[in-house]
Chains A and B, each alone.
Chain A
Amino acid sequence: MLLKKRSRVKNAWKLIIPAEFSSESYVIRTSPVVLGCSGHCDIVIKDPSVAESHIQFVLVSQGKFLEIYSLAGDSGEGPRTMLDGGAVEKTRIKAVGDKFFTLKAGNVHLRLMYAPVRDSSSVPSGRAAPRVPQVQWFFLHGGVEYGPMTESALARAFARKELLPLDDVWHSGLDRPMRAYEMPALLHDGSRLSKKKAEPWGKLRCPCCWHNFLIEDVMYISRHPDLTGDPVLGSEEPLRFLPRDLKPVRRALDSRGEVCSEMACPRCHLRIPTPFIDTVPLFLSIIGIPGSGKSYYLASATWRLRKILPRYFNISFEDIDNMTNQWLNAYEEALFFARDRDEYHVIEKTQIEASGLSRQVKINNITMLLPQPAIFTLVSKSHGGNDGDTPMPSGNMPLPVRTLAVYDNAGEHFQTGQDVIEKPGTLHMLHAHGFIFLFDPTADPRFGSVIDQGGRDGIAATVYQQQKIVIETMDRVRKYTGLNVTDKVKKPVVAGLSKFDLLQGYFAGKGIKWSDPPIKWIKRGEAAALDMSLVRMVSDHIREFFYELSPEYVNTIESFAHEVVYLPVSAIGHQPGTRGVNTGDVNPLWVEVPFLYILSRHGHIRSAGQDISNRGRSMSAGQDILNRGQSMSAGQDISSHDRKASPGQSLLNHGEIGSGKMLNHGDIESGKR
């Protein structure tokens, strides 16, 4: 389909150059295009009146507009670049069929028009994968050449993600390599996984502006120091460009001949880490009022996931690169890298305009602040059971490699009136694969009576109806996705009871003790699973607690989503004092569980016990939890703990939920990375 589309006649900007300089006109297909007398330029006009780099053309809105920048300055005898008789420094012209624009570079007269042209960039049929069994293929991935192999072996490599869409593939009959995504055979035959769960190859989503674009539209970031000044990012940023000639190992040449490897979104021009382009992303939205502890939670949760996922689920959880996650690394260092136990640190209140968390861009002449996500790679260390052939216990078919993007928004950003085009930073919620709402009990006076006496003194006197945040989220999701008012989001939603350390005394008074995360070994030392039965039981208790004190919150959040679990979390295990967090006392509680739950719902980690989604609306108030949990997964003696679990008993104490396969407390400690 791609090849067919490319071979048709379509309109494009055409620059007609005098015959003494060129025998043919130049079609502006990529952006930017530089005209000048230097041999480095895209359009070379050897005339003494033309500057080395004289004019830059930039396509806007798929060529509906053309921006013309004069790079030549003023000669002292008048402007050196003229358009339709007027001097030009920077201008934008609209594509109008059959209309000529006269352009003058120095003393050279040019004509510019938007006219039908045959797309010479169409890939010759010979370049597509010829289905000849004898052909031996090669591909280049990570600087390593693989092959020779048959086409079906190539497809298998593609399915296993050993060969990625931007990798070069070739065989002896090709005059130059092609990219893997240009092979329809790979797309149709090789990516069974992507057809089932993932977004189709070739379609990418920017983690900063969430623009959906084709892989062939990925821009590269210039490296030559002369090529600064980007129309979207500002005068000091390296220019972004669409490559015409790709070099092996995903490199492109900028217009000054430097090899470039960093890639960027074609809309917002912000850098996209290369592994993000190669993988299918998961987006997570963490939502809460100002002061609900989102930044602390995020830092604490990711820190714990770095330990938990490799250790129990055989999944590595790493920063996608050293640059992207700097702000989150700084959070983690503040909480977990204390030189001594008496150090105090704080995580700064998140500002919408914070320089590390957002970037200003200019799109469609609107200056807007786009968020900078933290991105992690999730790589299944052994594909055992997860290579696409074996479904997970949940029945899902996970991918061996994914990326996880999370955002740290200011609480004010979720409030009514903040959804403006200049600050689209919360729109990740439209693409989120899961939501974590953090409920701050200290901002609801009805929770005052259940908060531990010792914790009440240091609490700021804030009051906020937190269902408003959920309503605002619903509004935004419905507004942008066209969701009907009666429709519910079919994504996992976690209602996190934040600052749970303040409520431990209350729950202890009811005989419910705090204990380890709900993880149990399937095979000790080799494979663990999220104990969904325990998650469910805890969720029922927290929901009951919520319903008693803040029923409108429960009603609102359950009108938003089909599937809500209620989980307690405490990012640091105590309340920070006026000096900040005593790093020696940091003891996160269940912070990783909402993440694990969402990952399990998407089939990326194993779960054991009854699937919550099968219970329908069983989480309603007052229902007897003893009647649930009838159908456990094979080999799990969980029904026994269901019999034991009743209100007033220690539901969170693993020792009482005895299949003997639970983790000991010492298995998961909050230590250094």
Chain B
Amino acid sequence: MGTSGFTTVAHTEGMPVRYIALCESLSGYTYIYPLGHPKYHLNPVCYSHHRVDVNGTILSVISSVMPCGRDYTGRENKIAHHVVLESRDMVPCGPAWAMMHGSFFMENWNQPPSLLAPGRIKLPGTDVMKESHYAGTWNDEFGDAGTAGVLARWALEQPGIPSFKLYDPEKTSSILALAVESMVLLPPEKRWTTTFSTCFFSKPMDSDCLWRFCPVISRPGARPWHGEWVISPWKILRLYSRQEV
């Protein structure tokens, strides 16, 4: 399913109406750089994994929400693409890996509203997953591969306590890769219970969000972060780029 012009433009044939409403509620996007800003292209893609209880069934929703040029009124547009998964769809590699290597998220929609064929998306299975535990992106971006393990440990030891990872979107663009490298360190059965968002501003009502990667910026023309901001007793991890360290 995707949204364009801020309305649902496509969904899988036979998808329950309640799922559509759920996905629409997860489609909000906050532009850090407004349309016309020279750094508009640095607005991060919001990849997320949420778990939602719908009538007793636990669903996983993996999403990408990103800016998408201008809409029909000439203002900023976005495209949100959500994939709703039931337990039988959850491949062992986990949601972050599936999103990074699945290449199934649409980045634009220029067709009339339509129905999508069921079973169109196949998540990458275990066989395509290289079980490398080396956190190269963490090392390259922040100079410390061990930080990937910190997130994994928090998720294992205190799965009910969310953590915030503050990052500068101008210096760090591979947030999903960071999530993948941390998630790989988790046992397979824990990967689909770990929720995250690579551009966190507020928690959805029906789902937790354990790893909250928050873009933080305070430069002229950029929008300040004004999401709900509760620090204690949660964990905060400020991610400095290699140069800053």
Docked complex: B160-191 residues within 8 A CB-CB of A: 162
Scoring B residues 66 to 103 as 1 if CB is less than 8 Å from chain A, else 0, what string do you get? 00001111111110000000000000000000000000
B34 touches A412 (CB 8 A): no
Known: A291-B74, A410-B6, A580-B35. A353 touches B25 (CB 8 A): yes
Contacts of A367 in B (CB 8 A): 22, 25, 205-206
B205 touches A360 (CB 8 A): yes
Write the nearest CB–CB distance from A409 to chain B, whole angstroms: 12
Q: Residue A369 at the B interface, CB < 8 A? A: yes
Q: Which of A76-84, A248-256, A342-350, A602-610 contacts B (4 or more CB under 8 A)?
A: A342-350
Contacts of B24 in A (CB 8 A): 352-353
Write the nearest CB–CB distance from B67 to chain A, whole angstroms: 11
Majority DSSP secondary structure for residues of A touching B = loop
A422 touches B25 (CB 8 A): yes
B202 touches A355 (CB 8 A): yes
A362 touches B25 (CB 8 A): no
* Cross-chain contact of A236 among B73, B203, B223 (Cβ < 8 A): B203
* Cross-chain contact of A351 among B29, B73, B202 (Cβ < 8 A): B29
Q: Residue A578 at the B interface, CB < 8 A? A: yes
**Complex-state Cα separation, A360 to B21, whole angstroms:** 13
Write the nearest CB–CB distance from A507 to chain B, whole angstroms: 25
* Cross-chain contact of B75 among A291, A330, A422 (Cβ < 8 A): A291
B31, B34, B227 pick with most chain A CB within 10 angstroms: B34
**Complex-state Cα separation, A330 to B222, whole angstroms:** 12
B35 touches A346 (CB 8 A): yes
B6 touches A580 (CB 8 A): no
B75 touches A578 (CB 8 A): no
Docked complex: B8-43 residues within 8 A CB-CB of A: 21-22, 24-31, 34-36
Contacts of A361 in B (CB 8 A): 205
* Cross-chain contact of A355 among B73, B76, B201, B230 (Cβ < 8 A): B201
Contacts of B126 in A (CB 8 A): none
**Complex-state Cα separation, A361 to B36, whole angstroms:** 34
B205 touches A346 (CB 8 A): no
Write the nearest CB–CB distance from A585 to chain B, whole angstroms: 15
B28 touches A354 (CB 8 A): yes
**Complex-state Cα separation, A360 to B70, whole angstroms:** 27
| Contact count band on B | 35 or more
Q: Residue A481 at the B interface, CB < 8 A? A: no
Q: Residue A551 at the B interface, CB < 8 A? A: no
**Complex-state Cα separation, A339 to B7, whole angstroms:** 36
* Cross-chain contact of B7 among A225, A412, A422 (Cβ < 8 A): A412
Q: Residue A579 at the B interface, CB < 8 A? A: yes
**Complex-state Cα separation, A234 to B35, whole angstroms:** 33
**Complex-state Cα separation, A151 to B203, whole angstroms:** 51
Q: Which residue of A lies closest to B74 (CB)?
A: A460
Contacts of A343 in B (CB 8 A): 221
Scoring A residues 318 to 356 as 1 if CB is less than 8 Å from chain B, else 0, what string do you get? 000000001000100000000100011110110111111
* Cross-chain contact of B72 among A225, A352, A460 (Cβ < 8 A): A460
Q: Residue B110 at the A interface, CB < 8 A? A: no
A369 touches B25 (CB 8 A): yes
Known: A339-B220, A355-B201, A412-B6. A290 touches B73 (CB 8 A): yes
**Complex-state Cα separation, A422 to B27, whole angstroms:** 14
Q: Which residue of A lies closest to B78 (CB)?
A: A351
Number of interface residues of A (CB under 8 A): 36
**Complex-state Cα separation, A417 to B11, whole angstroms:** 17
Q: Residue A125 at the B interface, CB < 8 A? A: no
Scoring A residues 564 to 586 as 1 if CB is less than 8 Å from chain B, else 0, what string do you get? 00000000000000111000000
**Complex-state Cα separation, A234 to B232, whole angstroms:** 17
Q: Residue A486 at the B interface, CB < 8 A? A: no
B27, B36, B78, B205 pick with most chain A CB within 10 angstroms: B205
B226 touches A356 (CB 8 A): yes
Q: Residue A61 at the B interface, CB < 8 A? A: no
Docked complex: A279-333 residues within 8 A CB-CB of B: 290-291, 326, 330
B28 touches A234 (CB 8 A): no
Q: Residue B113 at the A interface, CB < 8 A? A: no
Q: Which residue of A lies closest to B73 (CB)?
A: A291
B21 touches A422 (CB 8 A): yes
**Complex-state Cα separation, A578 to B76, whole angstroms:** 11
Write the nearest CB–CB distance from A335 to chain B, whole angstroms: 13
B36, B70, B201, B233 pick with most chain A CB within 10 angstroms: B36
**Complex-state Cα separation, A348 to B37, whole angstroms:** 12
Contacts of B27 in A (CB 8 A): 351, 353
Q: Residue A614 at the B interface, CB < 8 A? A: no
A346 touches B28 (CB 8 A): no
Docked complex: B189-209 residues within 8 A CB-CB of A: 201-206, 208
A235, A353, A367, A579 pick with most chain B CB within 10 angstroms: A353
Write the nearest CB–CB distance from B53 to chain A, whole angstroms: 11
Write the nearest CB–CB distance from B165 to chain A, whole angstroms: 17
Write the nearest CB–CB distance from A102 to chain B, whole angstroms: 25
Q: Which residue of B lies closest to A350 (CB)?
A: B6
Contacts of A352 in B (CB 8 A): 6, 24
B205 touches A580 (CB 8 A): no
Contacts of A235 in B (CB 8 A): 208
Q: Residue A62 at the B interface, CB < 8 A? A: no
A353 touches B36 (CB 8 A): no
Contacts of B220 in A (CB 8 A): 339
Write the nearest CB–CB distance from A425 to chain B, whole angstroms: 12
Q: Which residue of A lies closest to B207 (CB)?
A: A234
**Complex-state Cα separation, A361 to B202, whole angstroms:** 13
**Complex-state Cα separation, A352 to B201, whole angstroms:** 15
**Complex-state Cα separation, A343 to B28, whole angstroms:** 27
CB within 8 Å of A: which residues of B? 5-7, 21-22, 24-31, 34-36, 70-78, 162, 201-206, 208, 220-221, 223, 226-228, 230, 232-233
Given A345-B221, A580-B35, 16 extra CB contacts under 8 A: A235-B208, A236-B162, A326-B226, A330-B223, A345-B34, A348-B76, A349-B6, A351-B28, A355-B28, A355-B227, A356-B226, A367-B25, A412-B6, A412-B7, A579-B36, A580-B34
Task: Jot down 28 A-B pairs with beta carbons below 8 A, ordered by A.
Answer: A234-B203, A234-B205, A235-B208, A291-B73, A330-B226, A339-B220, A344-B36, A345-B221, A348-B76, A349-B71, A349-B75, A351-B28, A353-B27, A353-B28, A355-B28, A360-B206, A361-B205, A362-B205, A362-B206, A367-B205, A367-B206, A369-B25, A410-B6, A420-B21, A422-B25, A460-B72, A460-B74, A580-B36
CB within 8 Å of B: which residues of A? 225, 233-236, 290-291, 326, 330, 339, 343-346, 348-349, 351-356, 360-362, 367, 369, 410, 412, 420, 422, 460, 462, 578-580
User: Lowest 5 CB-CB distances: which A-B pairs, in order?
Assistant: A291-B73, A353-B28, A460-B74, A360-B205, A349-B75
